[in-house]
């Protein structure tokens, strides 16, 4: 069954002939919905830092960086074939300061504050992952989340709130550290 | 008056909140569905070139970007007064049919299916796709994943990207497909036909073969006699991509059909003080409140509505399934001459008939001799002005309306999204289900509340277009309050 689940190809930013990356970084969110776009912005920043580090001669593991606005089954399908995944998303934890960056595993993440891990037209990511495992898909052994406490996610805009904008470097650093292990 | 709050609703994107108000005797007086709305879309769009809209609007929502992409491209065609070549229309419809296969498959197995196949009284933790597969066989899960994967592959082949297609532009498409791709899509379409028939078979066995479920489908609590809306082709048969919008009355009379550009002559929006959402209704009938019947302008736009407004399906297997649907649920025509199904839970069945139609249509389109034609764009030459584009989104008729200046820069935008059409019917359904299920002295337990949720889940509502939030794995919390706000009891699941 595993072959029926979408697998990534060299078109995802990995040059043909290179070893297949073990890790995928996914910036989740909607880039035109204010602070909801923070996952994408962090993904941009991570990509930039990866490029800079490689140009500076550092040995950086091969990583695929994606920007998605999906959850559930579709996100599970995107994660298939990787050993590690890092999900970056906006969250709404009650009472937390705006722009706060938190790192934890998917299992530790409060399910009620998670961003795009569920959908009206899909299963939750946890259910989707359970389905993928039962169907024999190769899914990441480790799924980490980097979250940014956000607020303005109900108004169309390509801009982040100042507090969220200021959190992008810290979130990118957190992702970078996870990539380096 | 006492109040029951269900907040938030499970398996719904966005902070949907149901408010059920009880009268002093503990009977349901009213039920409302409150949905926060996204703001500033028009302001966000104005000042942009109209040709950006097909790729911009498919970012509105992660659920049906293909629908927004198509409605937007059609509106942009109209703005530039350009008619795309036939091959471009075929390609757009082919992409769109593949999208329908993936979307309807996901809804049946992940959302609607759990209510029936797992059962309305099953624990919430089991009412998901895993619960469905536990009943029908884990190997079916592989078929669901395959249907989705293949659909996304077709979308990528034609639309350039798996999730947010980008190839429909004013006047046509930016690229076509090769013979090799065409053959692959045809193969996928043929497999999808078998899968759709298999899914209808599951519905037949598990739902129609269960007297209790059949009774629930036919029960008064899930029945409304409203007007119906849907796109039809020149033969009055269902079409998702193009055609005229048809309206049928609750008595089975065809009230009329109109071109998408005439929508404002037919549809008006009602405002309520308790929400900033607007409730569309039929202008010619008028707003009479949250009531059904021929005197009320409330209309419904869903898979069930699309079948109700059509004279049939344009493909043979779907037509046979359509006949069986009406023979089973509406053997006798209404006074207006048309057979109608008013049982809202039958929408799940209608959705599977549409799945079969979409799969058959994929094969028809993939085997059209013109589908690989390189003639896929008519370059716009006329001065841009104003245009309307309409498609049937899986969850209702979707209309984009743009106004531009002479350079093609947007000066105004109006969107009537699929789910919005059904705001009033959803409120009706919630109220009626609650009325039939909540009475004084009856303990409000979770299976019962899920049946209330089932009343609107059948509409496949999407609030991604109108709202967005951080739902995660959504809890269900029910607060039962007195009219002064004091909480009498709190029930919850997934918390």
SS3 string, B175-188, reads CCCCHHHHHHHHHH
* pLDDT value at residue A43: 97
* Distance from the B185 Cα atom to the nearest Cα atom in chain A, whole angstroms: 16
Q: Do A131 and B130 touch (CB under 8 A)?
A: yes
pLDDT of residue B75: 98
Please, are residues B419 and B434 in contact by the beta-carbon 8 Å criterion?
no
Give Cα separations from B88 to B43, B84, B155, B180, B184 (angstroms): 31, 6, 14, 18, 19
Chain A residues whose beta carbon lies within 8 Å of the beta carbon of residue B413: none
Band (pLDDT 50/70/90 cuts) for residue B62 is low
What pLDDT score was predicted for residue B64? 83
| CA distances, B255 to each of A118, B226, B389 (Å) | 40, 13, 22
Specify the pLDDT at position B478: 44
Which chain B residues are within 8 Å of A128, Cβ to Cβ? 129
String of DSSP letters for B395-409: TEEEEEEEEE-TTSB
Q: State mean pLDDT over B318-329.
A: 97
- Give B495's pLDDT tier (boundaries 50, 70, 90): very low
B74 membership: H or E segment, kind and range? helix B65-79
Instruction: Give which of B15, B48, B62, B134 to mutate to test A binding, by max A Cβ within 10 Å.
Output: B62
Verify whether the Cβ–Cβ distance A115 to B142 is below 8 Å.
no
Contacts of B205 (CB under 8 A, 6+ apart): none
Say if residue A10's pLDDT is above 50: no
Segment B343-359 shows an average pLDDT of 97
Instruction: Please judge whether B133 and A131 are an interchain contact, meaning their C-beta atoms are less than 8 angstroms apart.
Output: yes
B402 to chain A nearest CA, in Å? 17
Following DSSP, what letter does each residue of chain A receive, concatenated? -GGGS----GGGT--TTSPPPSEEEEEES-TTBGGGGHHHHHHHHHHHHHHHHHHTT-----EEEEEE---HHHHHHHHTT-SEEEEEEEE--TTPPTT-EEEEEGGGS-TTT-SSS--TTS--HHHHHHHHHHTT----SEEEEEEEE----SB-BSPPPHHHHHHHHHHHHHHHHHHH-
A111 or A15, which is more confident:
A111
pLDDT at B487 over 80: no
Summarised one tens digit per residue, pLDDT across range B295-309 is 999 999 999 999 999
B172 versus A107: the higher-pLDDT residue is B172
Residues of chain B with pLDDT > 70: what percent?
Answer: 85
Q: Say if residue B8 is preceded by a cis peptide, omega within 30 of 0.
A: yes
Q: Which of B161, B163, B113 is nearest to B141 (CA)?
A: B113
Q: Average per-residue pLDDT in chain B?
A: 86
Nearest to B279 by CA among B250, B300, B263: B300
Q: Searching chain B, which residue's CA lies closest to the CA of residue A123?
A: B110
Q: What is the pLDDT of residue A19?
A: 65
Give the pair of three-digit tokens for residue B239.
């079409």
Mean pLDDT to the nearest integer, A15-28: 78
The Cα B154–Cα B191 span in angstroms is: 13
Among the partner residues A90, A112, A135, nearest to B475 by beta-carbon distance: A112
- Indicate the DSSP class of residue B111: I
Please list, in sequence order, all residues whose beta carbon lies within 8 angstroms of the beta carbon of residue B300, skipping any fewer than 6 positions away. Answer: B224, B226, B227, B228, B229, B421, B422, B425
- Report which secondary-structure segment, H or E, holds B142: helix B138-159
Q: Do B250 and B227 contact (CB within 8 A), yes or no?
A: yes
Render pLDDT for B75-108 as a digit per residue (tens, 0 to 9): 999 999 999 999 999 999 999 999 999 999 988 9
* Assigned superfamily of A2-9+28-180: HybD-like (3.40.50.1450)
Which H or E run includes B299? strand B299-300
Taking residues A153-161, report their average pLDDT: 87
Q: Which residue of B has its CA nearest to A117?
A: B472
Asked if B474 contacts B8 with a C-beta cutoff of 8 angstroms, the reply is yes
Give kind and range of the element (H or E) at residue B20.
Answer: strand B17-22
Residue B335 is predicted with a pLDDT of 96
Chain B environment of A5 (Cβ under 8 Å): 145, 149
The pLDDT score that the predictor gives to residue A18 is 60
Q: Which of A52, A4, A20 is nearest to B139 (CA)?
A: A4
Query: Which residues neighbour A163 within 8 Å (Cβ) at sequence distance 6 or greater?
Result: A98, A99
Nearest residue in chain B measured CA to CA from A122: B110
CB-CB neighbors (< 8 A) of B470 in chain A? 90-92, 113-115, 153
Question: Given an 8 Å threshold on Cβ–Cβ distance, is B462 in contact with A121?
Answer: yes
Task: For residue A57, give how far its alpha carbon lies from the nearest alpha carbon of chain B (Å).
Answer: 33
pLDDT (mean) for B361-383:
97
Verify whether the Cβ–Cβ distance B470 to A73 is below 8 Å: no
Q: How many Å apart are CA B419 and CA B328, to the nearest integer?
A: 28
Q: Which residue of A has its CA nearest to B467?
A: A154
The partner residues of B481 in beta bridges, in order of sequence, read: B3, B487
The two tokens of residue B398 are 């979707």
Which has more pLDDT, B37 or A27?
A27
- SS3 per residue for B252-287: CCEEEEECHHHHHHHEEEEECCCCCCEEEEECCCCC
Cα–Cα dist B144/B108, whole Å:
10
Provide DSSP, B329-377.
H--S--TTS-----BGGGHHHHHHHHHHHHHHHHHHHHT-TTTT-S--B
- Chain B interface, mutation test: which of A92, A120, A124, A128, most B Cβ atoms within 10 Å? A120
pLDDT at B51: 95
The full set of domains in chain B, from first to last, is 2-36+436-493 (no CATH), 83-216+362-379 (1.10.645.10), 224-342 (no CATH)
Residue recorded with tokens 């531009």: B404
Cα–Cα distances (Å) from B273 to B32, B140, B277, B372, B466, in that order, read 12, 47, 9, 53, 18
Average pLDDT of the segment spanning A38-57: 95
Q: pLDDT of B31-43, one tens digit each?
A: 777 665 667 888 8
Q: What's the CA gap between B67 and B88, in Å, rounded?
A: 16
Q: What is the largest CA-CA distance in chain A?
A: 48
Residue of B nearest to A119 (CA): B13
pTM attached to this predicted model: 0.89
ipTM comes to 0.81
Q: Locate B171 and state its tokens.
A: 């006047």
The whole-number pLDDT of residue A5 equals 42
From the list A77, A91, A112, the residue facing B149 with the nearest CB is A77
- Is residue B369 scored above 60 in pLDDT? yes
Q: Residue B37: its chain A contacts at CB < 8 A?
A: 154
Contacts of A11 in chain B (CB under 8 A): none
Is B72's pLDDT higher than 90?
yes
- Chain B environment of A90 (Cβ under 8 Å): 470
The values of phi and psi at residue A120, to 5°, are -70, -20
Best of B118, B396, B471 to mutate (most A CBs within 10 Å, chain A): B471
User: How many residue pairs from chains A and B have C-beta atoms closer than 8 A?
Assistant: 147
Specify whether the CB–CB gap between A50 and A65 falls below 8 A: yes
Q: Which residues of A touch B461 (CB under 8 A)?
A: 120
Give B461's contacts (C-beta < 8 A, 6+ positions apart): A120, B12, B16, B395, B419, B422, B426
């Amino acid at each position: 069954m595993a072959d029926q689940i979408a697998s990534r190809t060299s078109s995802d930013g990995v040059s043909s002939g290179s070893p297949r990356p073990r890790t995928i970084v996914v910036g989740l969110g909607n880039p035109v919905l204010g602070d909801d776009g923070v996952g994408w912005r962090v993904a941009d920043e991570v990509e930039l830092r990866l490029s800079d580090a490689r140009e500076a001669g550092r040995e950086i593991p091969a990583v695929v960086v994606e920007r998605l606005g999906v959850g559930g089954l579709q996100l599970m399908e995107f994660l298939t074939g990787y050993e590690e995944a890092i999900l970056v998303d906006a969250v709404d934890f009650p009472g937390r300061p705006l722009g706060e960056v938190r790192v934890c595993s998917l299992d530790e993440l409060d399910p009620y504050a998670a961003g795009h891990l569920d959908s009206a037209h899909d299963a939750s990511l946890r259910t989707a992952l359970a389905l993928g495992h039962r169907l024999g898909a190769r899914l990441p052994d480790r799924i980490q989340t980097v979250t940014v406490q956000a607020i303005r996610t109900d108004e169309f805009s390509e801009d982040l709130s100042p507090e969220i904008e200021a959190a992008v470097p810290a979130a990118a650093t957190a992702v970078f550290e996870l990539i380096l292990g | 008056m006492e109040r029951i709050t269900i907040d938030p609703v499970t398996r719904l994107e966005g902070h949907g909140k149901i408010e059920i108000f009880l009268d002093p005797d503990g009977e349901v007086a009213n039920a409302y569905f409150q949905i926060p709305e996204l703001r500033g879309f028009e302001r966000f769009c104005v000042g942009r070139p109209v040709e950006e809209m097909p790729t911009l609007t498919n970012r509105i929502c992660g659920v049906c970007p293909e629908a927004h992409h198509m409605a937007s491209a059609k509106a942009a065609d109209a703005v530039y007064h350009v008619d795309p070549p036939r091959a471009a229309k075929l390609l757009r419809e082919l992409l769109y049919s593949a999208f329908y296969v993936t979307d309807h498959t996901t809804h049946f197995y992940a959302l609607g299916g759990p209510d029936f196949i797992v059962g309305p009284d099953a624990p919430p933790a089991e009412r998901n796709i895993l619960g469905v597969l536990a009943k029908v066989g884990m190997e079916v899960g592989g078929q669901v994943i395959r249907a989705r994967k293949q659909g996304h592959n077709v979308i990528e082949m034609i639309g350039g990207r798996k999730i947010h297609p980008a190839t429909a532009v004013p006047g046509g498409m930016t690229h076509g497909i090769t013979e090799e791709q065409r053959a692959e899509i045809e193969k996928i379409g043929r497999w999808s036909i078998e899968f759709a028939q298999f899914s209808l078979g599951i519905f037949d066995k598990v739902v129609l073969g269960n007297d209790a479920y059949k009774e629930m489908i036919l029960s008064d609590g899930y029945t409304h006699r409203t007007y119906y809306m849907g796109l039809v082709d020149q033969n009055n048969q269902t079409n998702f991509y193009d055609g005229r919008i048809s309206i049928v009355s609750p008595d089975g009379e065809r009230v009329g059909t109109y071109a998408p550009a005439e929508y404002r002559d037919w549809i008006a929006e009602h405002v309520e003080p308790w929400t900033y959402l607007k409730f569309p209704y039929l202008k010619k009938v008028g707003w009479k409140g949250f009531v059904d019947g021929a005197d009320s302008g409330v209309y419904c736009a869903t898979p069930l509505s699309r079948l109700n407004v059509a004279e049939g399906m344009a493909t043979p297997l779907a037509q046979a399934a359509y006949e069986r649907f009406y023979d089973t649920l509406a053997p006798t025509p209404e006074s207006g001459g048309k057979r109608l199904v008013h049982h809202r839970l039958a929408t799940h069945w209608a959705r599977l008939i549409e799945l079969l139609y979409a799969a058959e249509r994929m094969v028809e389109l993939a085997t059209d001799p013109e589908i690989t034609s390189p003639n896929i764009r008519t370059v716009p030459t006329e001065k841009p002005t104003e245009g309307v584009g309409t498609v049937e989104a899986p969850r209702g008729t979707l209309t984009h309306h743009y106004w531009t200046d002479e350079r093609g820069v947007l000066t105004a935008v109006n969107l009537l999204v699929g789910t919005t059409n059904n705001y009033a019917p959803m409120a009706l359904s919630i109220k009626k289900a609650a009325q039939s299920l909540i009475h004084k002295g009856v303990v409000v337990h979770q299976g019962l509340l899920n049946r209330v949720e089932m009343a609107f889940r059948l509409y496949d509502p999407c609030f991604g277009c109108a709202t967005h939030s951080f739902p995660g794995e959504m809890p269900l919390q029910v607060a039962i309050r007195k009219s002064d706000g004091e909480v009498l009891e709190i029930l919850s699941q997934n918390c």
